[in-house]
Amino acid sequence: MRRLERTLLLKNYRQLCTLSKASFSPMLDTQGSDQARLYFDGNPPSRNILSCNRMLAAHVRNDQTPIAQDLFDQMLVKDVVSWNTMLTGLQKAKNPHGVNRCFLQMRRDGFRPSEYTISTVLNAFLGTAFNVLVSQIHALVVRLALSSSVFVGSALIKGYANTGDQIALSRVFDEIPMKDVSSSNALVSSYMELGCTHEAQRVFDVMLERNIVSWTSLVSGYINNKRINKARSVFDKMRERNVVSWTVMISGYVKNQKFMDALDLFLLMLKSGALPNHFTFSSVLDACAGCSSLIMGQQVHSSILKLGTPEDVIMSTSLVDMYAKCGDIEAAFCVFGFMPRKNLVTWNSIIGGSARHGLATRALDKFERMIKCGVRPDEVTFVNVLSACGHGGMVEKGEKLFNSMKAKFGIEPNVEHYACMVDLYARAGNLEEAEKLIQWMPFQPDVVIWVALLGACGLHSSLQLGEFAAKEIEKLRNDHPAIYSTLSKIHGERGVWDSVLEFRKIMKEKHIQKQIAGSWVESQYRIR
């Protein structure tokens, strides 16, 4: 029956194409995919491959993958374009399971994958458990006589780089008969991904043709391999730069915590006449936050408004984070309030900013609003809210949130969360609870946890527990300045001046200065 239906549809294919293209195309262009779908559902004659493919493409373009999947499943006749469009939608939705199922069904139905099909599937598998299938897809490529394709070869090179197979990616490149700049760029990027900087530089040096992508790939590779000075050296040799090149170098400085270098390079970019985009501004705002430069951050914000840069959730989140970390929490709340769209990172930024400013109640209020908006918290969210509870002395609320992590949200507490709880108990003077929590931790406590306990002992003059915490810090081979300053403070409060003088002598010999007041948890695990 299905074969008969397919035959009848194919017979009337050209006539239906003419009918549907004239009436259907304007709807996709002017009225959107939803109204076009209403027309499609109410007009059976329009149900042919061309109109279905256009409808699929419209839904994929608008990130309506479930609707596209429903339409795809109802199609009586499909072609390679149909399968490729559906695979693209599933890839955009970051659904490698769906891509795998769709690709397997495509093969079972007898369709021959195109170069685009192979590339889409390989890109969908990058960074997932499905990357183990790269070698099998390679075998299929050879069988389909697609191994000479530069497009497929580049995708395979990236796939093998993702699996860590240096020999295989090199072999794939050698098998491409007509190599072009894109395949060479893929090889350079792949070598850099594997940390093979010398091989990447060697390939780059022998390239007959180079473009901006080639240079930018080399710069990005050195940045990812923690060779920021070499990256800048390559960047300075570029005869031509675009906004991507500038942004890669600026963000590289930010990743390496060279915030002033990032700001200097941004000023150089503006002098060159290059116009920044929202990704550039986001990186620059992160640099302002990193060096607590509120004035520079405000000037960048003004530039964003003057240039009319389109609002973007990433850039707006960087604005919130910058104002919060630079001390203007009210400005952070203002930017946050006007954001039309917020993601998890946005919520984490405003909650963390509230916690840093001691606004525990507002931090917890934002957390509750986030949950009501349907945004699921992650590990960073709970570090922020537990820190907020510590600042506000909300022991019971902190315990409730800590216990809800696994029970309600399926998040296993890690050492950061335990450090926050130790700090919470310690600030409230519950030293016994803090010590008990450390003993029952499912892993070995690190220096941050012991220093948090030691700081609490100094706050509450607990000599015995303080000395115990100090010994544990020393066992970790960590000559932490808090050991001497805190124990000196405790002995001074107890009037044991000989010990105080001894500790001060040690601090002078080791050039240890008294630490600025603050939470040890915050200093080590930055509230984000």
Domain boundaries along the sequence of the chain: 448-528
Tell how many helices (H) and how many strands (E) occur in the chain: 32, 0
Instruction: Give me the pLDDT at residue 493, please.
Output: 45
Mean pLDDT for the chain?
82
Residue whose token pair is 């549907």: 20
Helices (H), 308-441: 313-325, 329-338, 344-356, 360-372, 379-392, 395-409, 415-427, 431-439
Instruction: Give me the pLDDT at residue 76, please.
Output: 87
Instruction: Give me the pLDDT at residue 270, please.
Output: 94
State the pTM of this model.
Answer: 0.75
Instruction: Give me the pLDDT at residue 484, please.
Output: 46
Going from the C-alpha of 403 to that of each of 298, 320, 397, 418, the distances in angstroms are: 40, 29, 10, 11
Sequential pLDDT tens for the chain (528 residues): 444 444 433 343 333 333 333 333 444 443 444 544 444 444 443 457 888 899 999 999 998 999 999 999 988 889 999 999 999 999 999 999 999 999 999 999 999 999 999 999 999 999 999 989 999 999 999 999 888 888 899 999 999 999 999 999 999 998 888 889 999 999 999 999 999 999 999 999 999 899 999 999 999 999 999 999 999 999 999 999 999 999 999 999 999 999 999 999 999 999 999 999 999 999 999 999 999 999 999 999 999 999 888 888 999 999 999 999 999 999 999 999 999 999 999 999 999 999 999 899 999 999 999 999 999 999 999 999 999 998 888 999 999 999 999 999 999 998 889 888 888 888 887 878 887 888 888 877 777 777 777 766 666 555 556 666 666 655 555 555 554 445 455 544 444 444 444 444 444 444 445 544 444 344 444 444
Q: Position 504: which residue type?
A: R
